[in-house]
Amino acid sequence: ETGVTQSPTHLIKTRGQQVTLRCSSQSGHNTVSWYQQALGQGPQFIFQYYREEENGRGNFPPRFSGLQFPNYSSELNVNALELDDSALYLCASSSGQGYTDTQYFGPGTRLTVL
């Protein structure tokens, strides 16, 4: 196991609601990246946090926001949920910003929006 944990495992929400997903990074890792994986697709980068600062963002609207805490755990918040937000949300932790740093994925949170 990678030591990266995510909660909750599964979640069902309705359109227009808000959701918060949580990620605990592997011990010693200060970087957390979030990805969205729709059915049949590869994971898509949402954003990355490095030492509590946003360090890059993919092509996602502002209603996707995040936080990183002093212990390097992280939250992903999604407002005004849409049906297309139904997906597996993955977080990955790594020990730095470098492109050679291996990213270790958590088990994901499966979000269903009805």
Partner 1 sequence: RKEVEQDPGPFNVPEGATVAFNCTYSNSASQSFFWYRQDCRKEPKLLMSVYSSGNEDGRFTAQLNRASQYISLLIRDSKLSDSATYLCVVNRAGYSTLTFGKGTMLLVSP
Is residue 28 within the footprint of partner 1 (CB under 8 A)? no
Binding residue count for partner 1, defined by CB under 8 A? 31
Find tokens 């805490």 and name the residue: 69
Per the CB < 8 A criterion, the answer to whether 76 and 23 are in contact is yes
Among 27, 59, 71, 102, binds partner 1 (CB under 8 A): 102
Q: Which tokens in the block code for residue 109?
A: 């949170």
Among 79, 96, 112, 114, binds partner 1 (CB under 8 A): 96
Interface residues toward partner 1, by CB under 8 A = 2, 31, 33, 35, 40-45, 48, 56, 58, 88, 90, 92, 94, 96-108, 110
